[in-house]
Amino acid sequence: MFVKALRVGLGQLIIFVDFLTRPGKKQRPAAAQAQVDAAAKDLTLYQFHACPFCVKTRRSLRRLNVPVALKDAKNNEQDRQTLLEQGGKIKVPCLRIEENGQTSWMYESNTIIEYLNKRFAAV
């Protein structure tokens, strides 16, 4: 019980620090942002709200100004089941990428952030 309370407390602290230190959004011309918005419609991030690796990934999404759909794989049983059945495991963060009729699942925050930087930083 103490460990669970400690974990919840640390999770709330992580969320609070993230809120205080949240990066600003990348500013783009309207046409470029529309292009990013259209590309982001094919992305979905499965995450836990207080997971430090998920926070790190969401901070990168915010910094790059990429509006990705977020799925709560901890509290939403349907999202959790989709992650397990289609992604293969319940591990977050996980980025679902739909391209050219194919769906791929990318795990590991550093891999996801590297992908996002390559795809959206120059736009």
Domain spans in the chain, listed from the N-terminal domain onward: 33-120
Distances (CA, A) of 28 to 96, 98, 123: 25, 24, 8
Mean pLDDT of 42-48: 97
Rounded to two decimals, what is the model's pTM? 0.90
pLDDT for res 105: 98
Return the CATH number of the domain spanning residue range 33-120. Answer: 3.40.30.10
Angle formed by the axes of helices 52-64 and 109-120, nearest 10°: 0
Position 112 pLDDT exceeds 80: yes
The model's pLDDT over 77-102, given as tens digits with 9 standing for 90+, comes to 999 999 999 999 999 999 999 999 99
- Report d(CA 95, CA 7) in Å as an integer: 24
Tokens of 94: 């996980």
